[in-house]
Structure formats: C-alpha cells, structure tokens
C-alpha cells in the first residue's frame, strides 16, 4: 500500500463519528464500488436539501477519477419524505443515451441515501455569466434541452402511478396527492397558506388532454451546469415526476426570480419552437402556484427535521421570499389586489451593538482569512441569521401587534396570540366562513412584515418578483 493510501484510510477512520463529514462505511462503499482509492473528500457549497461532495480517487492503473456524491443523512421512513435519492437515480438513469445531458450514475447506495456520479465540468451560477450574448446562448440551449426532455417517452420509466399513462389530469391529481400526503406528515402545525393552496389546486386542475411528459420538477437556472456557451449537465432530479410540460415552464419562471434568466417570454418562444407546441400561459400560472406551494411544503416539513449544520441562513431568507411569491402567484390566479402593510419602525435595542460586532468580525476577520468556499458560504449564512436576529429584536414586537390587528379584522375579535389567530383563521377557512382570497390577503401582509425584518439579510432579493408571463 502506498503512503497516500495509508493516509486516506486513516482519514476515513477519523471522520466516521463526525456528522459534518462522511462516515467511514460510506467512504469504504465508494472505494469498493469503484475499485479505487479515495485521495480527497471536499464538502461543496449548495446542493439544496442534499449534501454535495467532491471526491477524487485513484484507480489501480494510476489514473485519476473525479466523482460527485449526492448525499442525504435523513431516513425517509422517519421523515415521510417520498423524494428519495433512489427515486431520483431512476430519473438520472432515464436520461442515459438521450438528448438531455445528465451526470452518469456510478452507483446508488443499497441502504443509505447516496448517489455516486461522475463530476461534470461547468459553472452552476447563471449570474456569474456576464456576457449578454452568451447568457442568451446558454439560456436558449437550456430551453432546447427542456423540450428534448419532454420528448422522451415516459413509459420507459418504471414509475407506476396507478393511472392511465396518457391521462394528464389524473397525473396532476397524483402529484397533488403526493405532496399533500407529504405535507400532512409534518410535525409543524397546519399552515393556512398551504391549506388554501391545496384547496385551490385541486379545484382548478387544467382540463388539458396532454401530453404527459417527464417533468424535471425544479427546472431552471441554478439546476444546470454550463460551459463554452452550452449546458453541460442538468442536475437535481429529486422532484421529477410525470406530468404537464407547463409545470417545468412554471419552475423556470420561479427560479428566474432568484437567478434572472434573460427575457423569460423569449425563452418561452424558444421552447415553443423546439417542442413544436405553443405555450399555454394559463397553465403556466396554475403550475407557478403549484411550484411555490411545493417550496412552502418543503420548508414546513423541515420543522422538527432541520439540520443545525445545514444551510440555515439561506433557508431563512428563501422561505420568506417564496411565501411572498406564493401570495403573488395566488393573487394573480384569483385576480385580487394585495395591499402592502404600514412600514414597521422602532428604535435600536441594547443588543444591536453585539449583533453588529459579530457581523463585523465575520466580515472583516473570518471570511477574509478563509480559503474554503464552503466555510465562506456558511459564514454568509451566519451573517444573515445575525442580521435577522438584530432586526427581530428591534421590530418583532411591532410586527406582532400589526399581525394581531390584521387577524382581528378577519376574525372579528383580537386573538390572544398570533399562533392562536392563525389556528382560528384555518378553522374559519375549513368551515367555509373565510374564503381563499381573505386568507391570502392577511397572511401576505404578515409575510411582507417578515420580509421587512429580513431586509438587511436578504439584500436585493427582497424586491425580486416574477417576470411578466404576457407581453403588454
């Protein structure tokens, strides 16, 4: 055994009890399935709900290999999460020999949630692409690939949904039911915003005859790699399913809020040209509500399962953003106007200096002295948490008073607490005495107050909104 091999083995042993690293058993599995020796292991930023790891290996012939490990430490039998990595791997496999570039899967762990894949070269963040012409070139290529995905025959997948393979409304109903059952397994109290979302979706399934396609389920900027003006790989298939192609177009609209994606309507024109089908904007509106609802369900379900070592700072700001976007999407389909609440104001508190000192040390000492991109990203997440706590300390009491007043206007009496008022609001909705629009209005105002508290942590994200779905 070479000296490097001994060092790697020792590292694996040392890591086995550290929750922030990979276990010795998992690393041994990687070596066994590859017939190679691990040289380095590097946790990468991003990955969403899953951990992202770069693994470098050396094969017996001396050649090197670059691998990507997608990993989830949670047990789906405990969390009730139907979107397992083994399910995701089936969609990766379905892309083999197709026009859709996706990483080759080397192995799927037989017990743990782990996928070992090739590491594809490319950049993830679309915002780092500055040349306007190249931005359009890459975005257009992605729409071409999306159309190619929707042209793959879905019956080749081993996914028995229990419905007629060609019945699109039935597939949509299956998808709604899958997400609602997942939502109901959460340890958190019911969320009226999610409840009205499911009620509206079930009552308004588009009466379209097809086609039924493979839907990526989270399509758009941030979930593909690009290089040299082309998309090199489509990533993150965990929410893939069979359904309406407009579902993916809605996701492009949603993801373009976080990562502006050139002219959205021009990209829809690209898709229509590549697919040979016109884009039905009314269906995009429907699935935009569904996409935002899924994000709210994932956030709601994380209560009781949140990993303190996860991307807590990012989750904080993106949950608020997508609660606001869900309200915007619902207002669009309901054709109702949402009112902005009065701006909160309060003097700084005695704790403000301490928050500012912690932020200064992070920004001026910790981050500048770190070369690890993972540590730098998490430091920014900690900064977001500190900014939120500082503003919550200052504005939280005023926000609570305003929330109680809004709830009193709908309920007819002031509740003793916001939690009590929200529970009463849900009860009124379930009994039919409060309609969907009223729930959306009152909770949207609450979300806007949350976003005011989060404004220093969110930066420019606080003002981001959907691109228009129709030309003037």
pLDDT at 373: 86
pLDDT at 49: 81
Instruction: Find, among 232, 231, 230, 251, the residue nearest to 241 by Cα.
Output: 251
For the chain, 472 residues long, give each residue's pLDDT as a single digit of tens. Answer: 333 333 333 334 333 334 458 999 999 999 999 999 999 999 887 667 889 999 999 999 999 999 999 999 888 888 888 999 999 998 998 898 899 999 999 999 999 999 999 999 999 999 999 999 999 999 999 999 999 999 998 876 766 666 677 899 999 999 999 999 999 998 889 999 999 999 999 999 999 988 999 999 999 999 999 999 999 999 999 999 999 999 999 999 999 999 999 999 999 999 999 999 999 999 999 999 999 999 999 999 887 667 787 788 989 999 999 999 999 999 999 999 999 999 999 999 999 999 999 999 999 999 999 998 889 989 999 999 999 999 999 999 999 999 999 999 999 999 999 999 999 999 999 999 999 999 999 999 999 999 999 999 999 999 999 999 999 8
334-387 pLDDT tens trace = 999 999 999 999 999 999 999 999 999 999 999 999 998 889 989 999 999 999
Distances (CA, A) of 409 to 104, 193, 329, 406, 435: 56, 17, 23, 5, 14
Would you say how long the chain is, in residues? 472
pLDDT at 11: 39
- Cα(302)–Cα(48) distance, rounded to whole angstroms? 12
Residue at token pair 């780092």: 128
- Cα(270)–Cα(418) distance, rounded to whole angstroms? 47
Collapsing DSSP states into helix, strand and coil, what is residue 152? Answer: coil
Is there a contact between 106 and 34 (Cβ–Cβ < 8 Å)? yes
pLDDT at 310: 79
Largest CA distance in the chain: 77
Q: Does domain 126-306 have CATH number 3.40.225.10?
A: no
pLDDT at 13: 37
Specify the pTM.
Answer: 0.91
Q: Which long-range contacts (CB under 8 A, 24 or more apart) does 308-314 make?
A: 309/19, 309/20, 311/377, 311/378, 311/381, 312/381, 312/385, 313/378, 313/380, 313/381, 313/382, 313/383, 313/384, 313/385, 313/457, 314/381, 314/384
Report the run of H or E that residue 117 belongs to, with start and end: strand 113-118
pLDDT at 76: 86
pLDDT at 164: 76
- Cα(84)–Cα(76) distance, rounded to whole angstroms? 7
pLDDT at 95: 92
Whole-number average pLDDT of the chain: 92
Collapsing DSSP states into helix, strand and coil, what is residue 261? Answer: coil
Which CATH entry fits the domain spanning 3-118: 3.30.200.20, 3.50.50.60, 3.40.50.970, 3.10.20.30?
3.30.200.20
Report the run of H or E that residue 72 belongs to, with start and end: strand 64-72
Listed by start position, the domains of the chain span 3-118, 126-306, 307-472
- Cα(44)–Cα(46) distance, rounded to whole angstroms? 6
């Amino acid at each position: 055994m070479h000296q490097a091999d001994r060092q790697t083995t020792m590292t694996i042993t040392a890591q086995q009890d550290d929750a922030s690293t990979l276990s010795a058993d998992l690393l041994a599995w990687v070596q066994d399935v590859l017939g190679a020796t691990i040289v380095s292991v590097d946790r990468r930023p991003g990955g969403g709900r899953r951990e992202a790891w770069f693994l470098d290996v050396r094969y017996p012939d001396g050649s090197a290999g670059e691998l990507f490990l997608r990993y989830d430490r949670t047990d789906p039998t405990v969390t009730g999460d139907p979107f397992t990595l083994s399910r995701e791997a089936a969609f990766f496999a379905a892309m083999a020999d197709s026009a859709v570039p996706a990483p080759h899967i080397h192995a799927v762990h037989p017990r743990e949630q782990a996928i070992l894949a090739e590491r594809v070269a490319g950049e993830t963040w679309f915002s780092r692409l500055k040349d306007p012409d190249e931005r359009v070139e890459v975005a257009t290529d992605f729409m071409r690939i999306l159309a190619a995905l929707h042209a793959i025959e879905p019956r080749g997948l081993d996914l028995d949904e229990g419905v007629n393979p060609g019945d699109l409304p039935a597939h949509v109903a299956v998808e709604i039911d899958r997400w609602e059952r997942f939502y109901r397994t959460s340890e958190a109290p019911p969320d009226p915003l999610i409840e009205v979302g499911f009620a509206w979706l079930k009552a308004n399934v588009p009466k379209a005859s097809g086609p039924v396609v493979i839907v990526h389920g989270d399509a758009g900027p941030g979930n593909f790699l690009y290089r040299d003006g082309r998309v090199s790989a489509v990533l993150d298939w965990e929410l893939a399913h069979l359904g309406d192609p407009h579902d993916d177009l809605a996701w492009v609209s949603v993801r373009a809020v976080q990562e502006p994606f050139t002219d959205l309507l021009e990209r829809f024109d690209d898709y229509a040209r590549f697919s040979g089908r016109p884009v039905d904007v009314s269906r995009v509106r429907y699935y935009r509500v569904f996409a935002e609802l899924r994000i709210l369900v994932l956030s709601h379900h994380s209560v009781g399962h949140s990993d303190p070592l996860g991307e807590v700072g990012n989750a904080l700001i993106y949950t608020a953003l997508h609660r606001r976007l869900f309200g915007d999407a619902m207002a669009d389909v309901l054709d109702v106007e949402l009112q902005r609440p009065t701006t909160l104001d309060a003097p700084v508190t005695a704790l403000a200096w301490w928050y500012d000192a912690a932020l200064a040390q992070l920004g001026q000492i910790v981050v500048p002295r770190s070369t690890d991109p993972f540590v730098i990203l998490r430091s920014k997440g900690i900064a977001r948490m500190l900014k939120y706590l500082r503003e919550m300390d200052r504005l939280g009491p005023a926000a609570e008073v305003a929330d109680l007043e809004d709830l009193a206007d709908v309920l007819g009496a002031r509740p003793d607490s916001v939690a009590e008022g929200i529970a009463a609001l849900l009860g009124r909705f379930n009994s039919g005495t409060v309609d969907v629009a009223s729930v959306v209005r009152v909770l949207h105002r609450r979300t806007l107050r949350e976003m005011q508290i989060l404004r220093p942590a969110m930066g420019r994200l606080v003002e981001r909104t959907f691109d228009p779905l129709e030309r003037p």
